[in-house]
Structure 1
Amino acid sequence: MSVEVLDGSTIREFIEDDQAFNGWIDDRFANLDIDHDGFLSYGEMMKELKSLRVLETHFGVDVVQAETKQMMLAMANGLGFLPVQMVLEEDSLLKKAVERELAKVTA
């Protein structure tokens, strides 16, 4: 975990970058799909459900991408333009958004 500073635009710009966002979703899906059958069983999702503290009724990757985008846009709108500090897990979507933003600044 690390403490990072972000605002709504950090999240919005990350999810609007289809390559970065979809790449993260695809990697996360691949890590969760333990038996590599292209579907997530309830057992495979339990860890993710517990970490998100969200119970979903849909487990297909396309639905998960769309729902994740909606949740992240809602979070971005809630944060607005004022920066906030958050404790983020290393492989979280928000951490990837912050890393993407930092890479743009340092490039």
Structure 2
Amino acid sequence: MSVVVLDGSTVRAFVADEAAFARSVEARFAALDANGDGVLSRGELRRALESFRLLDGAGGFGSDEPAPLPAEVAALYDAVFEQFDADRSGAVDRAEFRDEMRRIMLAVADGLGSQPLQVAVDDEGGSFLLEAAQHEAAAIAAKVDAERKAKAAADGASADAK
């Protein structure tokens, strides 16, 4: 588990960097595509959702509520799958997965707003929020490095002029 500080702009910048976001989505898609057929089946996506353990109930996340009924859980997973399967083909291809993850991440960015928050993220198996924070940190480091080099070059030029 890691703790990162981020806000909506952190997530938006990550999604806006097409290359970085595409690499992240592709890695996640490949990890979920258990049989390697290039699409996510209902079962593959369900296994991924189950790994989040959001529906454990009975003490999960401090809840006193009992675990949901199996039919309720199945209906929820089916609804999520239908959201990803935009063309209703019965499988989620890479483009559908990327588009839905973009939509989800932008919704998360809207929810985070502009105030920085500390967020606990799972660093086993990857996290889009962790990758967004790392993306921002790398951009800041590159900017600081470029400014330091520019200052060193300017200092060197003024020393040469003397």
> Structure 1 length normalisation: TM-score?
0.90
Letter in structure 1 aligned against 2:10:
T
Query: How many percent identity over aligned positions?
Result: 39
The answer for the alignment partner of 2:131 in structure 1 is 96
Structure 1 residue matching 2:37: 3-state secondary structure: coil
Query: What stretches of structure 1 of length at least 5 have no aligned partner?
Result: none
Please say which of residues 86-95 and 47-56 is displaced more in the overlay.
47-56
CA distance in 2, matches of 1:24, 1:42: 21
The answer for the alignment partner of 2:97 in structure 1 is 64
Letter in structure 2 aligned against 1:4:
V
The answer for the alignment partner of 2:107 in structure 1 is 74
TM-aligned CA deviation for residue 33 of structure 1: 1.3
> Structure 2 length normalisation: TM-score?
0.61
CA distance in 2, matches of 1:86, 1:24: 19
CA distance in 2, matches of 1:94, 1:84: 12
**Length, aligned pairs only:** 107
Larger radius of gyration: 2
Moved over 4 A (4+): none
Query: What stretches of structure 2 of length at least 5 have no aligned partner?
Result: 55-76, 86-91, 143-162
The answer for the alignment partner of 1:30 in structure 2 is 30
Please say which of residues 48-57 and 67-76 is displaced more in the overlay.
48-57
